Structure 1
C-alpha cells in the first residue's frame, strides 16, 4: 500500500496505532475546554473535535473533508473569534509554519487554547525519518520540529504552556508483532527517556499582556448579600422618651 498521503499512512498498522493514541488524547483534552467556536486545521478526515462541547465546530484547510476550504497561511476567520484551535500534525508539513502560528494567534480570543500534535525529531521516529526522508512517503517527508523549538515559537507569540504529553517511545516498526516485542519501552518511556517519544502533544493558552478578564460573579448568594447590606446606623431604644427641659 502506498503511504504517500496522510490518509494512506494512517490506514497502516503503525498509523492506526498512532491514530488511536491521538484520538484518545484529543478526546480527553478538548472535553474540558469551553467557549463558542472551535476549529480544526488539517487532517479533516479525522474528527479530533468529536468530544468537544463547544457548539460551533468546523474543520478548515485544503484537504478532503474540510468544512471550509482555505489556505492555512491566511485564515478567513475574524480576529479574536475562536476559543479552541487544533493543529494535528500541521506545522511539520507546512511551507511556512511561522505564518500559520501567527494566524493562530490572530484568530484566537484572549485565554483561547491551541492543542497540537507533532513528530519529534529527537526520537527513534526521527532516526527513521533521517533515513527515509527522500522517499517522499508520509510522515517521513515532513520537517519534524523539536519540542523545545515549538515551545520557543509559542512563547514568542505570548502563549503559555498549560499541558502536554509524549507517546510512541518504541521504534516505529510497521509490524504489530515487532511493536509488541518492544512494548516495554512504552511503559518505561515517561520515566527513563521522557523527551524521547516519537510524538508529542502540547496545550497552550493565549495570553494578552496588560489585559485582565473580568469574570461574572458565580456566587449569587454572596453578591445579593453585598447588594443588600445596610448602612450602619446609631442604635435607638424604642421605649426611650424624649427629654424635656423645664423653665423656671
Structure 2
C-alpha cells in the first residue's frame, strides 16, 4: 500500500469516528490495567492513547519507533497561536514517565524484565507483527501480561476498510492489513501465552459525523448482547506461561490394602491324630 492511501493517525483520532473509538479503548484500558501489579510496564506506540494512566507500577514507559519519529502514528501537528497547523512535532510520554525511541522489532530491554506490555494498534503499523509479538514474549517475565488492542476485520468497520483500500480510500489508519481476532489468538498461543480474556466494542456503523454516530447509539447494547464478536475493536489480554519441570522425591511403593469388605481367608487347623497306645 502506498503512502498516499495511508490515513494520518493523529488527524483520524481527532475525527468523530476516531474519538468514538479512542474513548472506548481508553475506558477499557483504564479498567484492566488498574488491577495489574508489578514493577515495570511499557506501552508500545500510539502516544495519542494513554494506556497506562491508571496503572500503579513504579516504572512506566512509552516506547516509540525511532524510524517513525516523523510519521504517523507517533506524531501530531503542532498549532500556532492563530490556530493553524505548523511543523510536525513528535509526541512524548505523559509527565513523570520516560520515552524510549528504538526499533520496536528489537527492543532494548533484557529478557524477562517487564511485567506488563500494552500494544494499542501497534501490530497494525509494523512490517512484521509476528516478530513484534516474539519480542514482547522475550522481554515479559513469567506470568507477565500482554494487552493488545486492534481493529476487528470481522466487522462493518473491517468491511469498509477492505472496500476502501480497493478504491484507494481506506477508512482506518492502518499500514498493514487488519489482523483477524482468530489469527491473533493462534499467534499468541504458539508463543506460549494463555488467553485470559477478550473484549469487543464499538458496534455503531463506520460513520464520519457525530450526528449519525449518535443516532446509532442503541447498537452498543444490542451488539454487546446479540453479536459481540462483530465489534469494530477488540482488546485481548494474555498471560505468559512458562512450562517447567517439577522435581519430586523418590516414590514410595505402598503395600496394597484390602478393601474393608474383604477379609483374609481363615486357615482351617488340621485335625489332631490320637496317639496309639
Task: Give the TM-score, by structure 2 length.
Answer: 0.72
Q: Secondary structure at the match of 1:161?
A: strand
* Counterpart selection for 1:53 from 53, 56, 67: 56
Pick from 177, 180, 186: which aligns with 1:143? Answer: 177
Q: d(CA) in 2 for partners of 1:148 and 1:10?
A: 26
Q: Which residue of 1 aligns with 2:273?
A: none
Q: How far apart, CA to CA, are the structure 2 residues paired with 1:116 and 1:140? A: 15
Root-mean-square deviation (CA), in Å?
A: 1.8
Q: 2:153 aligns with which of 96, 107, 121?
A: 121
Q: CA deviation at 1:3?
A: 8.1
Q: Which has the larger radius of gyration?
A: 2
1:65 aligns with 2:99: no
Partner of 1:223: none
Which one has a larger percent helix, Structure 1 or Structure 2? Answer: 1
Q: CA deviation at 1:65?
A: 2.7
SS of 2:230's equivalent? coil
Return structure 1 stretches of 4+ with deviation > 6 angstroms.
none
For the Cα contact (< 8 Å) 1:168–1:198, is it kept in 2? yes
| 1-structure distance, mates of 2:6, 2:127 | 20
Q: After TM superposition, give the deviation of residue 4 of structure 1 in Å.
A: 2.5
Work out whether residues 6 and 174 of structure 2, in 8 Å CA contact, stay in contact via their aligned partners in 1. Answer: no
Residue 104 (structure 1) aligns with: 136
Check the 8 A contact 2:198/2:234 in 1, yes or no: yes
Aligned residues: 211
User: Aligned partners of 2:123 and 2:117: how far apart in 1?
Assistant: 13
Cα pair 1:89 1:116 within 8 Å, conserved: yes
Deviation at 1:131, TM superposition (A): 1.8
Q: 2:116·2:145 contact (CA, 8 Å) conserved in 1? A: yes
Contact 1:30 1:49 in 2 (8 A): yes
Contact 1:121-1:127 at 8 Å conserved across structures: yes
**Contact 1:3–1:9 under 8 Å retained in 2:** no
Q: Distance in 1 between matches of 2:221 and 2:201?
A: 10
> Is the contact between residue 160 and residue 171 of structure 2 (CA under 8 Å) also seen in structure 1?
no
Gapped runs of 5+ residues in structure 1? 213-248
Alignment-derived partner of residue 19 in structure 2:
16
Separation of aligned partners in 2, 1:65 and 1:178: 31
Q: Deviations over 1:44-87 (max 9, x none)?
A: 23221011001100010223334100111100111000000000
